[in-house]
Structure 1
Amino acid sequence: MDTSAFRQAHAHILRIMPLIQHAAEGRLRYPYLTVTYGQHYGGHIYCWDNHHMTLRFAAAGEPEQMCYFVDNMLSFQTASGYVPCVINIADGGSGAISNFHAQPFLAQNAAIYTMLTGDAAWAETVFPKLKKYLSYWLEKHAAPFGLCRWRYPYMSGFDNEIAATVFPPDTIISPDLNAWLYLELRSMAYLAGMQHDVSAQQDYHCRAETLKKAINTYLWDDEFGTYAAYDLCAGQCRVSWGDGTLSGEVGQYAYLSCPALIPLFARLAEPERAQRMIKNYVLNPDHFRSPYGIRSMSKSSEYYNQARWGNPPRYGDHRRLTNSNWQGPVWIPLNWFVFHALLYYGFVVEAEQLADDTFKVIAMSVKQCGFMRENFHAETGEPLYADNFASWNILADLMPDYLPGGKPKLSLFAFEK
């Protein structure tokens, strides 16, 4: 391990963690964390950012940040089960874009917290609300084949992910959403078991296994050997341009993008498939692996770019005319997800190298700017956008804990315990 880069990254993360902690204020009833400690994004909770931030605080001995997060989010739940994905001190979630449902991390967060603390009483209080929240996902975002879909690409957090950016809304079934929902269902089964609700536990477990089968049936492209988005209009997975108008290798990997990586993190792939995908794409420098981590899109895609701001989706909401760019740059959460997938599927040396590259790119950013940014140029390591960034980047210094000989402070897969 590159101990110098790790020490620099670790020291910076420890320095900024107190700066993103805030007492309850305004419409937020519980203490909360902000994604930056600068002038932007203050007073807001963003679902998937905050989920990952609370994991870092839990590892530092503050698991209460996890229940604060879940309680803050669920305090704005409506009778339908809907939970705003973004909430804030000024108006709660009422000013958010309508139908932007909280990304599927709340059950995972609650399960990990409960496993860490043994707080079954708290889990019992939030379980009915989590049931309604997850039912909203499974019913309102339902797609064919027993799968689910994002309504707009930004709702995934991968703001301008290429397949959902190019094709019309509701026509793309993305592997990331369904992988997250699988983890949510497994987490709900765990929480039901904590309450000795055998019927609910079995129901959620069966639904998770059914979803797993659908993911591996419809969202795996065996020709290319990768998970991919399913195009309902074409009736097939979308890796290549694939309409017969282009010859040779042009457009062959046009839509090979970061959502394909999430089923590996969720441990959905059988070993043979995982080995194939990891060797051919994840670790391949022509695709996802850059010297600075994991690209958000295959380098072999014609859409691959390193713009500081991503182009908005052609069918996107008019209120979102700029997006964070997920069409090429390296993002720390992708490094985190792939790191854990590599370890699970037996690529230990490669996981350690990815951790080293993560520390190096963070150390470069801190040295150059004095802070982390949210993403990095995949070919040069240059910090690209968002000053004084914290968010999920603060997970990076936990990576060594999961390597052989380390002592992880929390399990990301509570349901396996």
Structure 2
Amino acid sequence: MSEAFEHYEQLLRAYIGEKADTILKAPAHYLKHPFVDPGSIYDGNLWDWDSFWAVYALLNMAEDENRDRYIAHAKGNIFNFLDYQLEDGYIPMMIEKSKLPEPYLIGKRKEGHIMNMHKPFLCQQVAIISGACGDYSWIEPHLEQLERYFDCYDRFYYHENSRLYVWADDVMIGMDNDPATFGRPRFSTANIYLNSFMVSDMKAFSSIAAHLGRPELQSRFEEKAAELSKAIQEECWDQRDKFYYSVDVDIKTRAYDWFHTGLGVFWKTLPIKIRVWSGFIPLWAGIADDRQAALLAELHAADKNTFNSPSGMATLAQDEKMFDCRATNNPSNWLGPVWIVANYVVFRGLMNYGYVKQAEELCIKTVTLLGRDLEKTGVLHEYYIPETGEPVMNGGFLNWNLLVLNMIDEMRGKSPISSFLGIHFP
């Protein structure tokens, strides 16, 4: 590595080492257990996939003096979410600071509103915690709750015809303004993000069951993950564009009187042909075959007109009409800005399939991006302009920015935390 890389690495390790404990929070308001928040403007709130990536990074950093503390807060995330699981299996996406009598999302669900639930990172977080501490027994009393979480997805969010999962609406979908879902009708989008991470969450639960001596659960969720992967291949992989897309499932023959009574709609979905970084997540989840991985790596991840920017992965292809990097919160902006979590997931996906040189280039870009920001502003930010690397907003944000250290360590041969997820690759 270059001298500049080593300089930025030293800056980042020192800054992250100093700041990491600031996202470890003591029990407060609705939260009875210690937890991890993203920092910055999100102080005091527990989020689903945000907490997963923070823990993923912290466990990579864990040394003897801080390991127990990190694991206690990571387990606390899980216990806090399970504390608010409803009878139908619903778990909220967020548990926030509030003066309401109960978390906002729980109150809305009790009123009868069917909205999105905890994104598919619950079992992935359990699996990495358990693998890191070498103990799965802590979650065994809660296995039935984890099953009910999946059952809730199957009952309310599973689209039978396509065999894919759909978002209920466009609220708190992780990538807030992903055009494949944002502004579209309720229950109409089988998002590639949702379905790909659902595969890895199912694989994680299968691995947990195996470690706890529950072969029937292990087998059941291996099969569910395989069936969902097959549906993703059939419905989301585009043979012409060689890319994974989210798909529209609101597909049926609109017949009336004697019109449209002949050959009706026989296709299950229509591709929503917007190139979003989430089309690479099948490389994370082990869904892509070798040929598809080669196309994603060499055709799309390497394309400087679409995803490959000087700062890393543009979250929306740079030639899409919606590409826009202005500052916005609620929704946060995923219409092109570089987010470090996207850089990491694509990095890990490339590594999973042997594209080490491309992964190394992405690591160097990420270290340079964050190192320059830290050197110039003294903090890290939530997201960045792809072309220039200029920070957009929310100085002091930590959370998945910590994944830069995972990238460095994995480039040097350290086993990734994802190895605890039970995912296998071609």
Residue equivalent to 2:384: 376
1:146 touches 1:211 (CA, 8 Å); kept in 2? yes
Within the alignment, does 1:278 sit opposite 2:297 as a pair?
yes
Residue equivalent to 1:330: 338
1:22-171 aligned within 5 A: 22-36=25-39, 38=40, 40-59=41-60, 60=62, 61=67, 62-90=70-98, 94-96=103-105, 98=109, 99-143=115-159, 144-171=161-188
Name the CA shift for 1:154/1:359 in 2 (closer, same or farther; >3 Å): farther
Write the distance in 2 (CA, Å) between the matches of 1:231 and 1:89: 35
Q: Among 21, 26, 30, which residue is 2:24 paired with?
A: 21
Name the CA shift for 1:364/1:351 in 2 (closer, same or farther; >3 Å): same
Q: How many residues align?
A: 388
- Given residue 273 of structure 1, which amino acid in structure 2 is its aligned partner? Q
Residue equivalent to 2:266: none
Residue equivalent to 1:236: 270
Write the distance in 2 (CA, Å) between the matches of 1:205 and 1:231: 26
Write the distance in 1 (CA, Å) between the matches of 2:416 and 2:322: 39
The CA deviation string for residues 305-358 of structure 1, in whole angstroms up to 9 with x for no partner, is 111127xxxxxxxxxxx4111011000000000000111122111111111111
Question: Offset of 1:70 from its aligned partner?
Answer: 0.7
1:58 touches 1:65 (CA, 8 Å); kept in 2? no
Equivalent residue of 1:164, what SS? Answer: coil
1:250-265 aligned within 5 A: 255-265=274-284
Q: Among 5, 9, 24, which residue is 1:6 paired with?
A: 9
2:9 touches 2:367 (CA, 8 Å); kept in 1? yes
The CA deviation string for residues 356-392 of structure 1, in whole angstroms up to 9 with x for no partner, is 1111111122223221111000111000011210111
Question: Offset of 1:413 from its aligned partner?
Answer: 4.2
Q: Among 305, 312, 319, which residue is 1:300 paired with?
A: 319
Q: Among 404, 410, 418, which residue is 1:411 paired with?
A: 418
Write the distance in 1 (CA, Å) between the matches of 2:157 and 2:286: 23
- Given residue 178 of structure 2, which amino acid in structure 1 is its aligned partner? E
**Structure 2: unaligned runs, 5 residues or longer:** 110-114, 252-268
Residue equivalent to 2:255: none
1:28 touches 1:92 (CA, 8 Å); kept in 2? no
Write the distance in 2 (CA, Å) between the matches of 1:119 and 1:386: 37
Q: Among 325, 328, 346, which residue is 2:354 paired with?
A: 346
Equivalent residue of 2:181, what SS? Answer: helix
2:245 touches 2:272 (CA, 8 Å); kept in 1? yes
2:34 touches 2:72 (CA, 8 Å); kept in 1? no
Question: Offset of 1:210 from its aligned partner?
Answer: 0.5
Residue equivalent to 1:386: 394
Residue equivalent to 1:191: 208
Write the distance in 2 (CA, Å) between the matches of 1:409 and 1:302: 36
Residue equivalent to 1:178: 195
Equivalent residue of 2:165, what SS? Answer: coil
Question: Offset of 1:23 from its aligned partner?
Answer: 1.4
Residue equivalent to 2:404: 396
The CA deviation string for residues 144-201 of structure 1, in whole angstroms up to 9 with x for no partner, is 3211011223432100001212532322211110111111111111111122111111
Write the distance in 2 (CA, Å) between the matches of 1:399 and 1:19: 22
- Given residue 141 of structure 1, which amino acid in structure 2 is its aligned partner? Y
Write the distance in 2 (CA, Å) between the matches of 1:324 and 1:369: 21
Write the distance in 2 (CA, Å) between the matches of 1:92 and 1:398: 39
Equivalent residue of 2:104, what SS? Answer: coil
1:87 touches 1:93 (CA, 8 Å); kept in 2? no
Name the CA shift for 1:416/1:280 in 2 (closer, same or farther; >3 Å): closer
The CA deviation string for residues 95-136 of structure 1, in whole angstroms up to 9 with x for no partner, is 136433111101011112122223232121221111111211
Question: Offset of 1:211 from its aligned partner?
Answer: 0.6
Residue equivalent to 1:242: none
**Structure 1: unaligned runs, 5 residues or longer:** 240-254, 311-321
Equivalent residue of 1:384, what SS? Answer: strand
Write the distance in 2 (CA, Å) between the matches of 1:349 and 1:283: 11
Question: Offset of 1:64 from its aligned partner?
Answer: 2.8
Equivalent residue of 2:46, what SS? Answer: strand
Percent identity over paired residues: 25
Question: Which one is further off, 371-380 or 113-122?
Answer: 113-122
- Given residue 56 of structure 2, which amino acid in structure 1 is its aligned partner? L
- TM-score (structure 2 length as normaliser): 0.87
Equivalent residue of 1:80, what SS? Answer: coil
Equivalent residue of 2:180, what SS? Answer: helix
Write the distance in 1 (CA, Å) between the matches of 2:101 and 2:198: 25
Write the distance in 2 (CA, Å) between the matches of 1:126 and 1:294: 37
Write the distance in 2 (CA, Å) between the matches of 1:345 and 1:416: 12
Write the distance in 1 (CA, Å) between the matches of 2:155 and 2:300: 33
Name the CA shift for 1:89/1:300 in 2 (closer, same or farther; >3 Å): closer
- TM-score (structure 1 length as normaliser): 0.89
Write the distance in 1 (CA, Å) between the matches of 2:117 and 2:249: 22
The CA deviation string for residues 215-269 of structure 1, in whole angstroms up to 9 with x for no partner, is 1110101110000011234642121xxxxxxxxxxxxxxx111221211221210
Within the alignment, does 1:359 sit opposite 2:357 as a pair?
no
Name the CA shift for 1:92/1:381 in 2 (closer, same or farther; >3 Å): farther
Write the distance in 2 (CA, Å) between the matches of 1:269 and 1:92: 45
Within the alignment, does 1:267 sit opposite 2:270 as a pair?
no
2:167 touches 2:188 (CA, 8 Å); kept in 1? no
- Given residue 18 of structure 2, which amino acid in structure 1 is its aligned partner? R
